[in-house]
Amino acid sequence: MFEYIKGEIFQLTPTNVVLDTGRVGYQVHISLFTYSQLPQSGKAKLFIHQIIRDDAHLLYGFFSKEEREVFRNLISVSGIGANTARMILSALSPDEIKNAILAGNVLLLKGIKGIGAKTAQRLIVDLRDKVGKSSVAGEIFDVSSNRIKEESLSALATLGFRKSSVSKMVDDIISRNPEMPVEDLLREVLKKL
């Protein structure tokens, strides 16, 4: 299974990109959201979801892990295939999709080409809990946020603080700024203690 592919953009269209990794050019299907995030040329890194069928091995690429997670949630719903999920991600950003599901916004979802009222309702029913759990604590199964949290808690424990007493504070800071470096996060926590 591929985690990501990093390479030079050889060809870019609104639906596909060919990434040249040196000796191999990978054709990767993308959404309009990912297309809008990519440079027209130069290096790019896409998080990959691979689908293996009898007649094809397909790669779907995403600008962020969050977008890939939304894609994976979408294709877990009965009746939603990879191309429909890509269509949804082309019409709405990952955050807009999550908000529509949490709010039960059937009208917004059925306004997407290929999504009827029943499919929109099924999306909401099937994904409300998954989306709700992933965004409750400001975490979207982001590996880097978890790494930053663990490093911060370990450093604070070394300084003599109990993990249980500083864990909530670390979570609050990460939820507001998930890209904050560990050093800055530690300074922020120490200011509040």
Q: Which domains are delineated in the chain?
A: 4-62 (2.40.50.140), 65-136 (1.10.150.20), 143-192 (1.10.8.10)
Q: What is the pLDDT of residue 145?
A: 56
User: What is the pLDDT at residue 182?
Assistant: 80
State the pLDDT at residue 133: 61
Decide if 189 contacts 173 (C-beta within 8 A): yes
Residue 182, classified by CB atoms within 10 Å of its CB into exposed (0-12), middle (13-18) or buried (19+), is middle
CA distances, 57 to each of 20, 46, 79, 167 (Å): 17, 17, 20, 43
List the end-to-end C-alpha distance of the chain, in Å, as a whole number.
44
Per-residue model confidence as pLDDT tens for the chain (193 residues): 789 999 999 999 999 999 999 889 999 999 999 999 999 889 999 999 999 999 999 999 999 999 999 999 999 998 899 999 999 999 999 989 999 998 889 999 988 888 999 999 999 999 988 886 654 444 344 445 567 777 788 788 777 788 778 888 888 888 888 778 888 888 888 887 7
Q: Count CB atoms within 10 A of the CB of residue 165.
A: 10
- pTM comes to 0.67
Q: What is the pLDDT of residue 136?
A: 41
**Overall residue count recorded for the chain in this entry:** 193
Residues paired with residue 44 on neighbouring β-strands, in sequence order: 7
